[in-house]
Structure 1
């Protein structure tokens, strides 16, 4: 998640600085940038560049600034509103698909504030279909149907999930069993459903949830044991609340293609591993990648796990877990656009 924090007062700016310091230590936050004043100038830029915008200002200023920019719940960034004193964190826009509700809870804990969430499914302790998609990193083929399905869930009606019996959907079953919000679901099996899809049905309506490719990039010291690499892998996906069965692929640089620990992990998890050519990594550019002069001096590239993950996840992919070190192992996680 790339976050912009924008403030208009000195008090708000001080709060923004304190919040950035805390978020910089969160591996699920790829970067946090600060902006101050000039809201009319900055907001159109922030809408295009960031996943989430935290506005520390009066709600009137925020609403007037973003009103002309709002397009769709499928594309608009998450917008949070915080007062100058940091008393309240309000989920203002894109609560589910954009992740504003979850981010509101996180930010409120960080600054000891009261979270304010008003979406109907949340306040009624129901599980929205768009929440499922966001939590499980799934795309939705027809976002206009979200309202119909969430209304049906609010009314306590049964929703049918249809999946392919030949695919491991443990991540879905565990999620539905562990979630505390209410939803009445039946599971059906059909070989006609693509293995990377979940068909959601009620009456004559249908939504297709499709897995976005989750790729775990791995870097490690020479000879690192599989157990140590697995431990780092597990800590990372646990931070993201991703079940092992939801991970699609492992990746690293070609200099690691004979690394026994990585190959054993691929076999243990029953996940393919792709080793990216060094020339591809050398040519790859992204402002979200952390550059290591040490790695550059040894291998001629600035990093292993982050560029490998982004390249393998495909064009326009994004990091959802920045490079994090675990006792000689580095992990980064990228996700495909669709």
Structure 2
């Protein structure tokens, strides 16, 4: 998490520096060295994962108000009074991690974390905070309130999980006996009206002809997702053979999705254990019988989830990193 601290007085600046030692981040004082409140907030809202204002909450609220857009994209915002008595998360408490950050700040300076989200106030399961702790993407954030609302009203909430979840199931949650009954689902393949939480564990293995455009790769990826019914948001990285490391289309495709892409030699790909879809043609060109499956499995250090899919001269496969979710939804 990248953090940025802004103080308004010398006392606040001293506290900000103290906090930054334990919870590293940039430190600035409003009005010094050309730092203005509006410009600082505008810049940090884009570039930082968390903004910590050391001063009055009203100043922070006015500074961030023009930039607030969505709970899925807004950074965490925490306000700490300059005496270090209270740490108050005021934006993105769950998905952005502001509640956890407020608790961490409180532990450093002895403050009281003032947590106002309803699920926390009542001590019940928070599905969005759980998703964040399990490294999952929330596909339909507007459905979070439906799950939380049922729990707050004392109603049962039913879930579906395509992965075993360790630990004790939180109070109020029950395993759905049919997919249609689920209020939320932990899955790579979203269907129905549940709140879908998609683990960010996928590595996309890619093979392609020389000169393949980013548009062709995009179309092939869309067809791949449709073929298997899985959420594109599950993918966090891409992998291929080193012969493709200078392919403009491949690099542009990965950059457009924000994926790091790693390249491996034929020898490295041949060394990957397992059964893969062989191609004599690919073997003759690259020196290895399969690129997409082997590259995905090697980079994920996991297992093949969806095998080779061919479309318009592009081959794709999905491997998943090891994933062991548990029922914790707050930092210990």
Contact 1:129 1:149 in 2 (8 A): yes
Compared CA separation, residues 101 and 195, structure 1 to 2 (3 A):
closer
The residue that corresponds to 2:281 in the other structure is: none
- In 1: Cα distance, 2:58 partner to 2:126 partner: 28
Say which of 181, 205, 212 aligns to 2:200: 212
TM-score normalised to structure 2 length: 0.57
Q: Deviations over 1:80-133 (max 9, x none)?
A: 000111111111111111111111111110112111101111000111221221
The answer to whether the 8 Å contact 1:156/1:184 transfers is no
Q: Which residue of 1 aligns with 2:137?
A: 139
Residue aligning to 1:10: 10
Which residue of 188, 191, 202 corresponds with 1:196? 188
Q: Would the aligned equivalents of 1:250 and 1:273 in 2 still touch at CA under 8 Å?
A: no
Radius of gyration: which is bigger? 2
Matched, 1:183 2:140: no
CA distance in 2, matches of 1:183, 1:43: 39
1:151: Cα distance to partner?
0.7
Indicate the SS of the match to 2:125: coil
Unmatched tracts of structure 2, length 5 or more:
31-35, 180-184, 204-233, 240-261, 274-295, 301-317, 320-332
Structure 1: gaps of 5 or more residues: 25-31, 216-245, 265-270, 276-311, 314-338
CA distance in structure 2 between the partners assigned to 1:68 and 1:79 by the alignment: 14
Q: For 2:59, which of 40, 49, 61 is the aligned residue?
A: 61
Q: 1:87 pairs with 85, 97, 100, which one?
A: 85
CA deviation after TM superposition for structure 1 residue 188, in Å: 4.2
Distance 2:110 2:130 in 1: 27
Query: TM-score normalized by structure 1?
Result: 0.56
Kept in 1: contact 2:78–2:98 (CA 8 A): yes
Residue 117 (structure 1) aligned with residue 127 (structure 2): no
Cα RMSD for the two superposed structures:
3.6
- Give the total of aligned pairs: 218
Partners of 2:272 and 2:178 lie apart in 1 by: 33
